[in-house]
Structure formats: C-alpha cells, structure tokens
Structure 1
Amino acid sequence: MSHLNQTLFLLLNAPTHPSQLLIEIALFFAKYFIVLVPIILIIGWLRGDEGTKKLVVMAGMSAIIGLIVNSLFGLVWFHPRPFAIHLGTNFLPHSNDSSFPSDHLTFFWSVAVSFALSRQTRLLGGALIVLGLPVAWARIYLGVHYPFDMIGSFVVAIAAATICKDKQHYVVEPVFKLLSQIYDKVIATSCPQAKIKR
C-alpha cells in the first residue's frame, strides 16, 4: 500500500520546473480556499432560522470531532510527509507533522458531509464535497500530502458527520443552546434586530 501511495503521489506531484500559473492556482486552493467553509458557517448562523443554525453547529462539531480523530491518528501512527523522506517536489512550506489524514481536508469535508446528510442543505453539501477535490489535488501537487491522506480524510469526515447527526441530541443541542445564549447576550444586545430567529 505504501508503494502504491507513493506511486500515485509522484503522478500527481508537481514536476521540478512547473508552470508558475499552475503553482499559483494550487497555492490558492491549498492555502486560501478553505476560508469558504467558515464564511458559509458564519452566514448560515447569522441569516438562518433555528433549524439552519443547528445544522451549522452540527457541521462545526463534525469538523472538531474529525480533527480530534486526526490528532489521535498522529499520536498512534506517525506518517512522514513526502518532503520529509525527500520524495517528489515541495512548493508549500509546512511543519513536519504526521501527514495522515489531512487536517485541511478533514475540516473541509466534515462540514461538507454534515451538510450533505441533511435534506435542507444536501445540494450545498454535495457541492462542497466536489469543491474539496481541487483542494486535495493542490496539497498533493505542492508536495505536502499523499493521495491516501485525502482518502483517509474523507473517511474520517463521513464518520464524524454521521456521529454528530446520530447523536445530535447529546452533541449538537448543548452547543447550540450555549452559542445561542452568547449570541443573544453579546451581539443581539447591541443590535436588537439581529436577535436569533426562533
């Protein structure tokens, strides 16, 4: 499996002298495109009704659970990044922590899958899952992840989102109530028209 992973990596990784335009495109997806996710969550919270806000909380909690799972993976099994073993090329400076699974994609896809599991936001979730693919490609192309890191991220994202949906009474409801109280007291106090929609 390790040999296959490295072989696939070398097929997708940037050549020694790549197109500068392609590098810039990859850097955009690898570093900045993830900002789309918190923007969607913030808009969903500020403009949505109670049901939408709960979906936002569920998506956020899915991402947190996914990242915790990733941390446990890193503690149990350290997998060096490609540049750490001098494999391929690297065009994105990165700390030499464990590569598996990708935190970047786990965050992105946990939110995406969480939305996809709810009828109300299924199209948005599906779109975000697809939009995660160029992010996955970019991080392989720039030399900080292997293809299997991305597959691992998707599996973790599915597991995290499924847990949050199945156990939302224990996971989502308490966090939603806490955030609603904070929102009402801190934000809605100075802007009454922004008070949470119920």
Structure 2
Amino acid sequence: MNTLEAFNQALFLTINATTSTPRWQIDVASFIADYVIYFVPMVLVALWLSGLRNHRATALRACCVALLALGFNQIIGHVWMHPRPFMIGLGHTFIEHAPDSSFPSDHGTVFASVALTLLLARMRWYGELTLVAGLTVAWARVFVGVHYPLDMAGAVAIACVAYGVITPLWSLTGNAVTDSLIALYRKVLAWPIARGWLVQ
C-alpha cells in the first residue's frame, strides 16, 4: 500500500501545475475542472429530446449507473478517508475544494458511468464524446491539485461495478421504468409538447 501511495503521489506531482505554470493554462484547467461536468446532463437531455425510445432508455440507465456509483463513493468515503493533496501539503492547489476524501473522484465517476453505459449501448458518438470530456476533466482536476491520478482510476472501477449491478436489474425493470417516466414527461410537459416546442 505504501508503494502504491508513493507511486500515486509521484504521478500526481508529475501532472500537478506549479507556481511557474503559465496562468492561462491554470485558468483553462480550472474552467475544465469546475464546469465541463455540465456536459453530462447536456448529453442525457439530448438523448431524451431525440424522442427515440432506446435513446431515452439508455439515458435513464446511465443515470441509474451514475447514481449508484456515487452512492458507492459516499460509502467508501465514510469507511476510508483518503486526504486530498492539499490536506497533506502536497503540490499546489488552484481551485477551492472541501477537505473531504479524495477517493474515488465523483467527477470521474459520473463521466465513467455515463460513458461506459453509452459505449456498451453502441451509442459510440455520444459515448466517445463523453469519454474524451471525462478524460479532460480527470487530467484537469489532478492538474489543479484536488485529486490524485488513482482517484480517477478508482472512479472507473466503481463505475464498472455499478454498471454490473444495474445491468441485471435493468433487464427486469428497465422497460417499466422507461415507460413510466416517458408517460410522466408527456403528462407534466403536455402543454409545450402540444405546441411542438418539445418532442413527444
């Protein structure tokens, strides 16, 4: 464990920005670290608004995988507190973050969960875009000093576990969940749907 942690910290210091890093690089990385996460709901909304049932089902499934994975993260964080780099005075930090457990990364978990679900559903274009965005965010959050590289690797592992748990459950209940939420969507948003502002 000590060897793995030493490797994790050494790799972090290799990626982490320093006081001599150009300011524009830090600003770009800070923006990516904080705001590119909003790409995920945009992708899921785009899938839903396509009007295609299989797209909507996949978006819902991706949400379930991500939510379960985030739940796993909460449990891990309570059982095993792994301090963030700035909590032990390691490297440099360029964005504010709560001093909570670093492992695994919630941002990385969301991207990994959604990208994995989309790719395995053969929605390659959406999945690959999400994967690229996720890799960029993973790099940025290490670069600005709030995560270690292995926090991101852990996020991928947790996403895979969550996907494995959701898959058999979705086979049993996915159709019913999808139909129910489509019906609710059509009822709640009947007015804009009737005027052609939203797809049915």
| TM-score of the superposed pair, with normalisation by structure 1 | 0.91
Aligned sequence identity (%): 40
State whether residues 40 and 114 of structure 2, in contact with CA within 8 Å, keep that contact through their aligned partners in structure 1. Answer: yes
1:125 aligns with 2:127: yes
Match of 1:59 in 2: 62
Aligned amino acid, residue 166 of structure 1: P
178-187 vs 149-158, which moves further:
178-187
Match of 2:177 in 1: 175
State whether residues 114 and 162 of structure 1, in contact with CA within 8 Å, keep that contact through their aligned partners in structure 2. Answer: no
Task: Choose from 138, 141, 146 the match for 2:140.
Answer: 138
State whether residues 106 and 154 of structure 1, in contact with CA within 8 Å, keep that contact through their aligned partners in structure 2. Answer: yes
State whether residues 44 and 59 of structure 2, in contact with CA within 8 Å, keep that contact through their aligned partners in structure 1. Answer: yes
Give the superposition deviation at 1:163: 2.8
- Quote the RMSD (CA, aligned, Å): 1.6
Give the superposition deviation at 1:101: 0.3
- In 2, the alpha carbon distance for the partners of 1:117 and 1:183 equals 26
Task: Choose from 47, 52, 55 the match for 1:44.
Answer: 47
Match of 2:115 in 1: 112
Match of 1:102 in 2: 105
- In 1, the alpha carbon distance for the partners of 2:187 and 2:199 equals 9
- In 2, the alpha carbon distance for the partners of 1:141 and 1:132 equals 14
- In 2, the alpha carbon distance for the partners of 1:146 and 1:43 equals 32
Secondary structure in 2 aligned to 1:167? helix
Task: Choose from 23, 27, 32 the match for 1:29.
Answer: 32
- In 2, the alpha carbon distance for the partners of 1:175 and 1:28 equals 36
Aligned amino acid, residue 167 of structure 1: L
Aligned amino acid, residue 8 of structure 1: L
Secondary structure in 2 aligned to 1:14? coil
State whether residues 188 and 195 of structure 1, in contact with CA within 8 Å, keep that contact through their aligned partners in structure 2. Answer: no
Give the superposition deviation at 1:54: 0.2
- In 2, the alpha carbon distance for the partners of 1:98 and 1:169 equals 34
State whether residues 57 and 176 of structure 1, in contact with CA within 8 Å, keep that contact through their aligned partners in structure 2. Answer: yes
Match of 2:190 in 1: 188
Aligned amino acid, residue 3 of structure 1: A
Aligned amino acid, residue 145 of structure 2: G
Aligned amino acid, residue 178 of structure 1: S
Secondary structure in 1 aligned to 2:102? coil
- In 1, the alpha carbon distance for the partners of 2:143 and 2:192 equals 47
1:2 aligns with 2:8: no
The answer for unaligned runs of 5 or more in structure 1 is: none
- In 2, the alpha carbon distance for the partners of 1:145 and 1:99 equals 6
Secondary structure in 1 aligned to 2:187? helix
Aligned amino acid, residue 6 of structure 2: H
State whether residues 51 and 199 of structure 2, in contact with CA within 8 Å, keep that contact through their aligned partners in structure 1. Answer: no
State whether residues 43 and 126 of structure 2, in contact with CA within 8 Å, keep that contact through their aligned partners in structure 1. Answer: no
